[in-house]
A and B are shown apart, each in its own frame.
Chain A
Amino acid sequence: MSEKQTVLEVKNLTVSFYTKAGKLTAVNGINFDLHAGETLAIVGESGCGKSVTSMAIMRLLDEKTSEIAPTSSVKLKGEELTKLSNKEMSKIRGNAISMVFQDSLTSLNPTLTIMSQMVEPFMRHQGMKRKEAEKQAVEMLRKVGIPNPEVRAKQYPHELSGGMRQRVIIAMALSCKPAVLICDEPTTALDVTIQAQVLRMVNDLKKDLDTAVIFITHDMGVVAEMADRVMVMYGGNSVEKGSCYDLFTNPLHPYTKGLLASIPKINDNSRLFTIKGTVPSLKDMLCGADGQE
Chain B
Amino acid sequence: MGRYIVKRLLTAIVAFFGITIITYILASLMPGTPLDMLVQPGSGLSAEEIAEIEHRMGLDQPLIVQYFYWLGNMLQGNFGTSYSQYRPVWDLLMDRIGPTLLLSISSLVIALLIAVPLGTIAGYKAYSGWDYGSTIIAFIGRGAPTFFVALLLIYVFSIQLGWLPASGMYDAGSTGSFTQLVAHMALPCATMVLANIGVFTRQMRNSAVECLSEDYIRTARAKGMSEKTVLFKHMLRNALQPVVTSAGLALPSLVGGSIVIEQIFAWPGMGTLMLRSIQGRDYPTIMGITVLISVVVLVGNVLLDILYRLLDPRIGDKA
Contact = CB atoms under 8 A, between A and B. Distances in A.
Are A and B in direct contact (Cβ within 8 Å)?
A: yes
Interface of A: 58, 60, 86-87, 90-95, 98-99, 101, 103, 106-112, 120-121, 124-125, 156, 158-159, 169, 172-173
B151 to A, nearest CB: 42
Contact of B238 (A93, A109, A121, A156): A109
Contact of A94 (B216, B225, B227, B234): B225
A58 B222 contact: yes
B223 A60 contact: no
Interface SS, A side: helix
B226 A124 contact: yes
Nearest to B238: A111
B218 interface: yes
Interface of B: 214-216, 218-227, 229, 233-234, 237-238, 311-314, 317
A107 B224 contact: no
Contacts, number: 80
Given A106-B214, A169-B219, A112 B224 contact: no
B220 A110 contact: no
Contact of B222 (A101, A125, A159): A101
Contacts of B233: 112
A108 B311 CA distance: 16
A247 B314 CA distance: 46
Contacts of B219: 101, 107-109, 169, 172
Contact of B223 (A87, A94, A110, A156): A94
A156 B218 contact: no
A125 B224 contact: yes
A101 B314 contact: no
A121 B226 CA distance: 11
A109 B224 contact: no
A135 B219 CA distance: 22
Contact of A60 (B222, B227, B229, B314): B222
Nearest to B311: A111
A94 B222 CA distance: 6
